[in-house]
């Protein structure tokens, strides 16, 4: 098993007029993230519209039921590809570490925001890693089951009983991925100063020091190295 | 049909043999379903294939094609030996008691008088002993060794269940089960109906197949009764009508016959047709032949048919051969002796056997005229379609006219169904583009030819110039005009025979029916048996009263049935010698002491006393014939004959091939295959999804049965390594076709004379025009030989070989 | 299915919630307006009925032609549907797979439209006018009859046979057409004259 | 107002007539929770298919195509009589042929079954359908597709226990037998029942059809079919298309007619539990997060954190100025 990637290319510390800012995500990563996010939201909305009759009116967003039915699977393909690219950039940084276990064991301190009590974490804490891996897992399940019931192209070649199971799994996975999504979004909002990581791409030194001190130290220590080298 | 479709509901047992009613006549078959559901009737199917009729049968027995006579003779033997005979009926209503001349005999599969050179019998000995009084001698006790009954028993002796199994391949137990079920119908209160079609006619011994069943029905007392009869399920909507109207080379209208060269003058012609009774007091209705004939001649040539010219007798062709049937015509064509041909709604390229010969014949014509609502392979016989019609177009010098006609929906008139109902229909649609009615086309060709004869003269123009064509618009006679002409009218006042001072029919009035026809030229009638169809009461064919008192199925108020609106032929036979119905619950007519009356028009003079006049009034005997005298060329009794192409030899005479008196042309004799080279028994048939070669032009039916195929047993498929749904090649001595293979459990090999016989089924609905996939027909394989009496081609039995193959190539794909 | 009901009310709440927050206010209401339940308009309304007989087999089932336009009123009539005649004693409204598809025979793409003529050796049909066709056919037939007619046999007996031109009559034509055809063929002395009954 | 027709043996009207099937006759409507009860109860109708009378002539297919103006493709022969080879959006009914050797008699029986929509009392297609009003059930028992509302998702195909609906590649809508709702609506029976030559297909009120079936079954038993019976599967609440089978003890021999059809448990779970458990889960989580957001204080970066960061960056290195 490869080592966890503690620092990723592009991570760096800048100090301007005493203000410390830390590069967390490059432009490519951010675009990638938002495409993924957008398609996930579109999928959630169109999916819910086709799953809950009381939400069927949401198909209006896509120009009616026929369009929603037609678009949903394409959104899925976009999500899958976009996330796949994202995945390749981040997966090594999201490999589990020993500290993750301790971190999880103190989950109530996490929820309470008593971060000083927690072990120092690297670029990603266990919670973020959980989001990352569950997203990866559900997106995979959803794309596979989704293709099986994609009426226009594939469904006619899949046994009906298989399709029935696929639909059930697809529905359950969809519900769960939406839960993960809610967690992700809420965590990002609750942990102030996080959003700018995906907007500007940088975080404050304080934020890095508070939430990802191990990662921050790593970057700081790198600054000792002579640039000539 | 002796009975009507709607009468079948009155039966107790339906035997479908030599036909496939459920597939070929589904809506008529409804009445079988009715009989089953409401009378508890049973259905027996005897067929080489387990057909869709068999799928709803109570009992199915397989049989090798072409061996029906052996089977039926076996059943007759079984009935006689087990005393399952309607004795009273058989004694009184058949010629069983008549004494037959000495000298008549049957030996080695042949009757006395056979001449192998002429391929014909000297039939002199095939007759009754006639007394000095001119009447037949008989022995009502049936003791006389030479009486028909005893000769029949003798003739049937060899047809044991074992012999039937040996010839037909029908397992003994299955045969006995069928025989037993049939024999139950010998009681006066149980009847069987026979439903047959081309499975019996398309054999070199087709007429005898049908005779055999007719005889069985007579022995069981099932002719003339409700739910009984001999029911020929005619193929086309008006094939009955065209036969009744004599559109055949040996016929005139109403079964009057064409003169032969022996009929040197009118009186000679009459003498051989105006039959005198052979039994005292008998009717012998043909005594009226002259009235019908003269009235017919008046219809043809009007004033030009006069007493002094024998009513234009010499205008009628005199035949030098029994008939210029289609096989003879195409043989002549093939020999280059025919120059012109008209095909009106007919597709010989797919309908006649030995397609290669048919195409070659057509290629030798100067001109071909086709009239049809649809494309036909015949109109395009010169067009190359790769394997589907591999002809050298450029070398074919035939000039072709393809004339578009209207179809049923765009024209008015009557069609005669199998039950002899003449039903009028009305036009509901506008014809496409330049399509014209056949009557218009015929009139135009005729009028223009007549003009040319007026102008130029020519070969014997008289019958052409004198032909009566006095229609309001000669360019297009209307259906009413023609129908009235068929019915007939008085040309001058017709006097009442009982009171010569009274006018029975005033000049110009329609006759009420053929009973008013005269032989003095005072009446005209196109077709005597149809007379009554359109009289002064109006168009009786257009009547639509569908009431049916006591649910007999007669429907006397519905349209018009010939003769005289009679629904069940020979219905006099439904009552016993006292005139009481054999089965009171199934009364048709009854003698009330002074006259006959009941649910149907009596098939006898209404005042003819029961004991005195026999029910079969068209016969000189007044009885039905178990022994036909010399009237059938191939024997007075039905005897087993193999098809010309058979996988096994005739057990009665291994040297005998096919029907010994069938006509075989030299070139065709050379094209008959043997079982060593062609081991499998091929047969042809229709599928319920299609009608002949029409419905392949129709996308719906083409979707229901899209592509040509042949059916073989699982056993044969394994033997030949043929996959279900794969391509096979089937070939006979005359042609080769390619088809998809349908491997089925519905066809099983039969054990005949100790060896297995494999059957190859070839349906007949595909060609190279239309919406369905291009394909072939069984006529590419069938032999150019016909029935001994009527020359119907033997399309139901021929020899083939089969092998796995590849898809046929169409023209586009060729080269 | 109480479960269903409770679930439904639950969903309504949730639905309403989401609607309020997301697009409910954005005027997507019409997305909900579904087509009311209805059946296909009855297609035989205002058609013309004509009683006819199925031209296929000899059961001769009664059929009713339904057309737009009425021939009896001198209009052009376009057949839109054909169905069994329930008043008919034999078929009682039923039809077989052929009869039930009669409309597609009437409307077949391979229905013939115009007289066509194929010259000797040619590989195609060409349009020809009726008039031209009739004159040409009459000429060909008369010439053949005059050239090959057998007026008498060797004994001088008038036999009146024209055997070098034959005719097949259609056993799907009416009796009336058949009678006209009979007069035509037998009048000309055509002996090679048969119909489907022969085969 | 006209009630349901009692027979298919009648000639259609040509004068304009009001349809008696509409919104107010609905008892079920797909993806609709608040369907008002029907204004009136039409007599339940049914089509009875007597397999023992059926001659497999396909008149029903022909009549169906002609009445519904569909255009089934002209295929090819693959060694069977069943044509087209399966139901399609253009072929709502299909004769399925199976050659079965009866083990008791060793006789061949050619079992021919007219396949098509069974018009279940508890329709799986309707249950699965996510589009409001795309599938409806009228009070006479007819289950009909309202194509304008169909979104082409194909859920009805998964919901159907008989594998009947087909989705058109052309317009992405679901098609199946309508029981000729347009004919029934003006007092006519279905085209197939009218055409059926042997009247193996009959149509009328469901009660009459059951009575008729009893007669047929008695006749079949008298002919030795001890297990003859009526196929009106309770698993789907009964159907408005029923069969008389000579071997009702083993429906599967008739080209895989389900022995005991019911809406698949998987579909039930998908359309049942999953829906509300799923909504609950998402709801709880969302609410939980909201509450946490409201009552728990947000996780803010403190001054200490900034200093800590400062130290880390400066102490170990020279002054920021030098760096730049």
Please count the structural domains in chain A: 1
pLDDT at C23: 43
Residues of chain C with CATH 2.20.25.90: 48-106
pLDDT at A65: 95
Of residues B396, B415, B795, nearest to C60 (C-beta): B415
Instruction: Please tell us whether the domain made up of D23-271 is placed in CATH 3.30.70.20.
Output: yes
pLDDT at A224: 56
The fold of C48-106 is N-terminal domain of TfIIb (2.20.25)
Q: Which residues contact D141 (CB under 8 A, 6 or more apart)?
A: D44, D45, D46, D119, D121, D206, D240
Q: Which chain C positions have a beta carbon within 8 Å of A54's beta carbon? A: 8, 11-12, 14-15
Compute the average pLDDT of residues B516-530: 98
* CATH class name, domain B21-235+622-631: alpha beta
pLDDT at D295: 87
* B603 C-beta neighbours (distance < 10 Å), count: 25
pLDDT at D322: 38
Catalytic residue among A33, A170, A184, A212: A184
Instruction: Determine whether the interchain pair D22/C36 forms a contact, defined as Cβ–Cβ distance below 8 Å.
Output: yes
Q: Answer whether residue A107 is part of any domain.
A: yes
Nearest Cα neighbor of D80 from D97, D67, D65, D93 is D97
Q: Are D145 and D174 within 8 A, CB to CB?
A: yes
pLDDT at A149: 97
Q: What is the mean pLDDT of chain B?
A: 97
Q: Which chain C positions have a beta carbon within 8 Å of B443's beta carbon? A: 180
Surface of C (64-123) touching B: CB under 8 A: 65, 67, 69, 71, 76-79, 82, 87-92, 94-102, 104-106, 108-123
Of the pLDDT bands very low, low, confident and very high (cuts 50, 70, 90), residue B173 is very high
Q: Answer whether residue A23 is part of any domain.
A: no
Q: How far apart are CA D260 and CA D252, in angstroms?
A: 10
Match 């199915």 to its residue by tokens: B60
Q: Best residue in B26, B247, B488 to probe C by mutation, most C CBs within 10 Å?
A: B247
Of the pLDDT bands very low, low, confident and very high (cuts 50, 70, 90), residue A2 is low
Interaxial angle between packed helices A65-90 and A126-148, expressed in degrees from 0 to 180 and rounded to the nearest 10: 140
Min distance D23 CA to chain B CA atoms (Å): 34
Range of the domain at A73: 28-192
Tokens standing for residue B529: 């048996």
Chains A and C touch (3+ CB pairs under 8 A): yes
pLDDT at B115: 97
Lowest mean pLDDT: which of A191-195, B5-9, B111-115, B719-723?
A191-195
Compute the average pLDDT of residues B41-56: 98
Instruction: Determine whether the interchain pair B53/D55 forms a contact, defined as Cβ–Cβ distance below 8 Å.
Output: yes
Consecutive sets of 10 residues in chain D, 324 residues long: mean pLDDT of each?
Answer: 90 94 96 93 98 98 98 97 97 98 95 98 97 97 97 97 97 97 97 98 98 98 97 98 98 98 96 94 94 88 91 63 37
Q: Answer whether residue A126 is part of any domain.
A: yes
Q: How far apart are CA D15 and CA D9, in angstroms?
A: 18
Who has greater pLDDT, B809 or D296?
A: B809
Cross-strand bridge partners of residue B730 = B737, B802
Nearest Cα neighbor of D251 from D175, D130, D161 is D161
Q: Residue D243 phi/psi, 5° resolution?
A: -115, 145
Q: Residue A163 phi/psi, 5° resolution?
A: -60, -40
User: Could you give the ipTM of this predicted complex?
Assistant: 0.95
CATH number of the domain enclosing A92: 1.20.950.20
Instruction: Determine whether the interchain pair C157/B318 forms a contact, defined as Cβ–Cβ distance below 8 Å.
Output: yes
Strands (E), C85-137: 116-118, 126-127
pLDDT of A44 over the 60 cut: yes
pLDDT at B222: 98
Q: Answer whether residue A214 is part of any domain.
A: no
Q: Which residues contact B304 (CB under 8 A, 6 or more apart)?
A: B312, B462, B466, B468
CATH number of B666-813: 2.40.40.20
Q: What is the pLDDT of residues B695-715, one digit of tens each?
A: 999 999 999 999 999 999 999
Task: Kindly give the pairing relationship between strand B538-539 and strand C48-53.
Answer: unpaired
Task: Kindly give the pairing relationship between strand D26-29 and strand D135-138.
Answer: antiparallel
Q: How far apart are CA B356 and CA B361, in angstroms?
A: 9
Surface of C (164-193) touching B: CB under 8 A: 164-189, 191-193
pLDDT at D316: 52
CB pairs under 8 A between B and D: 117
Q: What is the pLDDT of residues B734-786, one digit of tens each?
A: 999 999 999 999 999 999 999 999 999 999 999 999 999 999 999 999 999 99
Q: What is the pLDDT of residues B67-92, one digit of tens each?
A: 999 999 999 999 999 999 999 999 99
Q: Which residue of C has its CA nearest to B332?
A: C164
Q: Are B182 and B192 within 8 A, CB to CB?
A: yes
Which residues, given as ranges, of chain C have pLDDT below 70?
Answer: 1-33
Q: How far apart are CA B544 and CA B396, in angstroms?
A: 51
Who has greater pLDDT, B491 or A114?
A: B491
Q: Which chain C positions have a beta carbon within 8 Å of B245's beta carbon? A: 175, 178-179, 182
Residue spans per domain, chain D: 23-271, 273-323
Positive or negative, the CA dihedral B566, B568, B573, B578 is: negative
Q: What is the pLDDT of residues B244-271, one digit of tens each?
A: 999 999 999 999 999 999 999 999 999 9
Of the pLDDT bands very low, low, confident and very high (cuts 50, 70, 90), residue B505 is very high
Q: What is the mean pLDDT of chain A?
A: 92
Q: Residue B372 phi/psi, 5° resolution?
A: -165, 150
Chain D CB within 8 Å of residue C95 CB: yes
Residue A184 annotated among the catalytic residues of the structure: yes
Whole-angstrom CA distances from D283 to A38, A54, C14 are 21, 15, 8
Q: Answer whether residue A20 is part of any domain.
A: no
Residue C135 half-sphere exposure, CB side, CA atoms within 13 Å?
4
Instruction: Determine whether the interchain pair A64/C31 forms a contact, defined as Cβ–Cβ distance below 8 Å.
Output: yes
pLDDT of B611 over the 70 cut: yes
Reported pTM? 0.94
pLDDT at D314: 80
- Cβ neighbourhood burial of A223 (10 Å; 0-12, 13-18, 19+): middle
Chain B CB within 8 Å of residue C151 CB: yes
CB pairs under 8 A between A and D: 169
Residue spans per domain, chain B: 21-235+622-631, 666-813
Q: What is the pLDDT of residues B196-208, one digit of tens each?
A: 999 999 999 999 9
Min distance C37 CA to chain A CA atoms (Å): 17
Of the pLDDT bands very low, low, confident and very high (cuts 50, 70, 90), residue B285 is very high
Q: Answer whether residue A112 is part of any domain.
A: yes
């Amino acid at each position: 098993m490869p080592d966890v990637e503690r620092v990723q290319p592009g991570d760096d510390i800048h100090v301007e007029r005493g203000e410390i800012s830390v590069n967390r995500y490059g432009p490519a990563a951010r675009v990638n993230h938002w495409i993924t996010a957008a398609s996930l939201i579109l999928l959630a909305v169109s999916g819910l519209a086709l799953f809950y009759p009381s939400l069927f009116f949401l198909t209006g967003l896509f120009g009616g039921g026929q369009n929603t039915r037609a678009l949903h699977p394409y959104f899925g393909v976009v999500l899958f590809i976009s996330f796949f690219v994202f995945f390749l950039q981040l997966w090594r940084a999201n490999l589990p570490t020993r500290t993750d276990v301790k971190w999880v064991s103190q989950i109530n301190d996490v929820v309470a925001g008593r971060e000083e009590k927690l072990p120092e974490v690297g670029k990603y804490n266990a919670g973020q890693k959980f989001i990352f891996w569950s997203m990866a897992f559900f997106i995979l399940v959803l794309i596979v089951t989704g293709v099986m019931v994609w009426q226009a192209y594939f469904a006619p070649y899949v046994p009906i009983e298989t399709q029935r199971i696929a639909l059930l799994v697809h529905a359950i996975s969809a519900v769960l991925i939406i839960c993960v999504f809610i967690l992700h979004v809420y965590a990002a909002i609750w942990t102030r100063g996080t959003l700018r990581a995906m907007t500007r791409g940088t975080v404050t030194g304080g934020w890095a020091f508070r939430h990802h001190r191990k990662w921050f130290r790593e970057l700081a220590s790198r600054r000792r190295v002579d640039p000539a080298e | 049909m002796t009975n009507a479709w709607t009468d079948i509901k009155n039966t107790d047992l339906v035997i479908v043999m030599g036909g496939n009613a459920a597939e070929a006549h589904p809506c008529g078959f409804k009445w079988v379903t009715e009989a089953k559901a409401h009378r508890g009737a049973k259905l027996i199917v005897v067929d080489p294939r387990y057909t869709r009729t068999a799928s709803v049968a109570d009992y199915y027995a397989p049989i090798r094609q072409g061996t029906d006579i052996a089977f039926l003779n076996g059943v007759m033997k079984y009935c006689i030996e087990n005393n399952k005979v309607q004795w009273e009926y058989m004694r009184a209503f058949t010629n069983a008691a008549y004494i037959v001349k000495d000298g008549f005999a049957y030996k080695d599969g042949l009757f006395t008088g056979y001449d192998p050179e002429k391929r014909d019998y000297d039939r002199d000995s095939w007759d009754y002993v006639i007394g000095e009084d001119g009447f037949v001698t008989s022995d009502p006790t049936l003791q006389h060794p030479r009486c028909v009954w005893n000769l029949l028993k003798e003739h049937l002796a060899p047809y044991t269940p074992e012999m039937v199994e040996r010839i037909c391949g029908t397992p003994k137990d299955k045969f006995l089960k069928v025989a037993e079920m049939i024999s139950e119908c010998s009681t006066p209160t149980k009847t069987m109906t026979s439903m047959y079609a081309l499975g019996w006619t398309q054999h070199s011994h087709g007429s005898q197949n049908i005779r055999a069943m007719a005889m069985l029905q007579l022995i069981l007392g099932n002719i003339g009764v409700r739910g009984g009869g001999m029911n020929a399920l005619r193929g086309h909507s008006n094939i009955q009508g065209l036969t009744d109207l004599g559109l055949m080379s040996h016929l005139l209208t109403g079964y009057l016959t064409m003169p032969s060269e022996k009929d040197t003058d009118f009186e000679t012609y009459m003498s051989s047709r105006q039959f005198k009774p052979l039994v005292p007091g008998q009717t012998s209705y043909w005594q009226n032949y002259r009235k019908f004939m003269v009235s017919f001649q008046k219809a043809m040539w009007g004033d030009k048919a006069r007493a002094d010219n024998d009513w234009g007798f010499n205008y009628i062709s005199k035949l030098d051969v029994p008939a210029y049937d289609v096989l003879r015509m195409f043989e002549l064509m093939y020999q280059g002796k025919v120059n012109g041909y008209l095909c009106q709604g007919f597709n010989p390229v797919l309908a006649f056997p030995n397609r290669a010969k048919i195409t070659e014949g057509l290629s030798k014509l100067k001109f071909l005229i086709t009239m049809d609502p649809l494309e036909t392979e015949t109109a395009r016989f010169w067009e190359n379609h790769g394997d589907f019609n591999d002809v050298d177009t450029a070398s074919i010098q035939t000039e072709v006219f393809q004339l578009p006609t209207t179809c049923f929906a765009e024209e008015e008139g009557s069609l005669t169904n199998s039950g002899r109902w003449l039903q009028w229909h009305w036009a509901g649609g506008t014809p496409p583009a330049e399509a014209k009615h056949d009557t218009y086309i015929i009139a135009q060709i005729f009028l223009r030819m007549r003009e040319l004869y007026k102008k130029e003269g020519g070969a014997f123009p008289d019958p052409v110039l004198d032909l009566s064509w006095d229609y309001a618009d000669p360019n297009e006679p209307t259906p009413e005009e023609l129908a009235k002409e068929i019915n007939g009218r008085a040309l001058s006042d017709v006097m009442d025979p009982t009171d010569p001072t009274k006018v029975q029919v005033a000049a110009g009035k329609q006759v009420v029916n053929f009973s008013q026809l005269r032989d003095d030229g005072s009446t005209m009638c196109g077709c005597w048996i149809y007379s009554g169809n359109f009289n002064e009461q109006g168009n009786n064919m257009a009547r639509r009263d569908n009431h049916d008192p006591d649910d007999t199925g007669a429907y006397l108020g519905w349209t018009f049935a010939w003769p005289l609106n009679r629904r069940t032929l020979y219905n006099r036979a439904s009552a016993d010698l006292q005139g009481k119905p054999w089965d009171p619950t199934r009364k048709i007519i009854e003698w009330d002491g002074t006259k006959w009356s009941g649910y149907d028009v009596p098939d006898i003079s209404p005042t003819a006393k029961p004991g005195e006049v026999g029910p079969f009034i068209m016969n000189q005997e007044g009885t039905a014939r178990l022994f036909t005298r010399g009237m059938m060329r191939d024997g007075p009794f039905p005897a087993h004959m193999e098809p010309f192409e058979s996988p096994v030899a005739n057990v009665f005479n291994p040297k005998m091939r096919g029907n010994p008196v069938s006509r075989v042309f030299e070139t065709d004799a050379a094209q008959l295959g043997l079982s060593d080279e062609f081991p499998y028994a091929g047969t042809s048939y229709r599928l319920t999804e299609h009608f002949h070669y029409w419905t392949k032009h129709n996308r719906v039916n083409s979707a229901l049965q899209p592509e040509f195929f042949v059916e073989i047993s699982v056993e044969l498929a394994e033997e030949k390594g043929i996959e279900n749904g794969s391509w096979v090649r089937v070939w006979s001595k005359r042609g080769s076709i390619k088809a998809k293979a349908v491997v089925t459990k519905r066809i099983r090999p039969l054990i005949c004379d100790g060896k297995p016989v494999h059957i190859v089924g070839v349906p007949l609905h595909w060609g190279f025009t239309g919406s369905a996939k291009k394909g072939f027909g069984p006529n590419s394989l069938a032999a150019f030989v016909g029935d001994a009496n009527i020359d119907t081609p033997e399309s139901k039995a021929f020899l083939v070989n089969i092998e796995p193959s590849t898809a046929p190539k169409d023209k586009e794909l060729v080269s | 299915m109480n479960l269903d009901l409770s679930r439904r009310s639950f969903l309504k709440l949730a639905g309403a919630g989401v609607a309020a927050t997301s697009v409910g206010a954005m005027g997507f209401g019409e997305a909900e307006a579904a087509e009311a339940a209805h059946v296909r308009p009855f297609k035989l309304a205002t058609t013309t009925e004509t009683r006819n007989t199925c031209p296929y087999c000899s059961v001769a089932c009664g059929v009713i032609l339904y057309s737009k336009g009425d021939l009896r009123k001198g209009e052009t009539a376009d057949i839109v549907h054909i169905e069994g005649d329930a008043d008919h004693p034999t078929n009682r409204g039923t039809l077989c797979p052929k009869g039930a598809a009669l409309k597609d025979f009437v409307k077949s793409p391979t229905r013939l439209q115009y007289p066509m003529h194929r010259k000797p050796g040619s590989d195609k049909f060409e349009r020809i006018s009726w008039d031209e066709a009739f004159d040409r056919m009459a000429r060909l037939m008369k010439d053949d009859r005059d050239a090959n007619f057998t007026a008498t046999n060797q004994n001088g007996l008038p036999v009146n046979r024209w055997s070098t031109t034959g005719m097949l009559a259609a056993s799907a034509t009416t009796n009336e057409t058949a009678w006209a055809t009979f007069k035509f063929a037998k009048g000309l002395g055509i002996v090679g004259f048969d119909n489907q009954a022969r085969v | 107002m006209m009630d349901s027709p009692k027979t298919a043996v009648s000639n259609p009207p040509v004068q304009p007539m009001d349809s008696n099937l509409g919104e107010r006759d609905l008892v079920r409507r797909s993806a609709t929770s608040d369907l008002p009860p029907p204004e009136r109860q039409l007599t339940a109708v049914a089509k009875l298919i007597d397999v023992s009378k059926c001659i497999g002539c396909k008149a029903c297919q022909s009549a169906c195509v002609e009445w519904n103006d569909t255009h089934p493709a002209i295929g090819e022969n693959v060694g069977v009589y069943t044509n087209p080879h399966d139901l399609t959006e253009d072929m709502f009914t299909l004769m399925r042929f199976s050659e079965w050797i009866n083990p008791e008699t060793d006789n061949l029986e050619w079992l021919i079954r007219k396949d098509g929509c069974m018009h279940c009392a508890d329709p799986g297609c309707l249950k699965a359908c996510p589009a409001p009003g795309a599938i409806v059930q009228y009070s006479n028992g007819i289950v009909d597709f309202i194509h304008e509302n169909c979104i082409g998702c194909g859920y009805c195909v998964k919901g159907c226990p008989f594998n009947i609906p087909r989705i058109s590649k052309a317009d992405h809508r679901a098609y199946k037998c309508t029981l000729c709702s347009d004919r029934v609506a003006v007092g006519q029976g279905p085209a197939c029942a009218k055409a059926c030559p042997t009247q193996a297909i009959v149509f009328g009120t469901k009660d009459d059809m059951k009575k008729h079936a009893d007669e047929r079954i008695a006749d079949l038993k008298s002919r030795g079919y001890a297990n003859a019976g009526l196929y009106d599967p309770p698993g789907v609440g009964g159907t408005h298309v029923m069969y008389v089978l000579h071997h009702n003890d083993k429906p599967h021999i008739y080209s895989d007619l389900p022995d005991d059809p019911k809406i698949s448990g998987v579909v039930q779970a998908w359309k049942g539990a999953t829906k509300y458990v799923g909504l609950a889960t998402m709801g709880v989580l969302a609410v939980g997060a909201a509450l946490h957001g409201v009552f728990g204080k947000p996780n803010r970066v403190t001054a200490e954190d900034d200093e800590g960061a400062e130290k880390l960056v400066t102490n170990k290195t020279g002054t920021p100025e030098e760096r730049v």
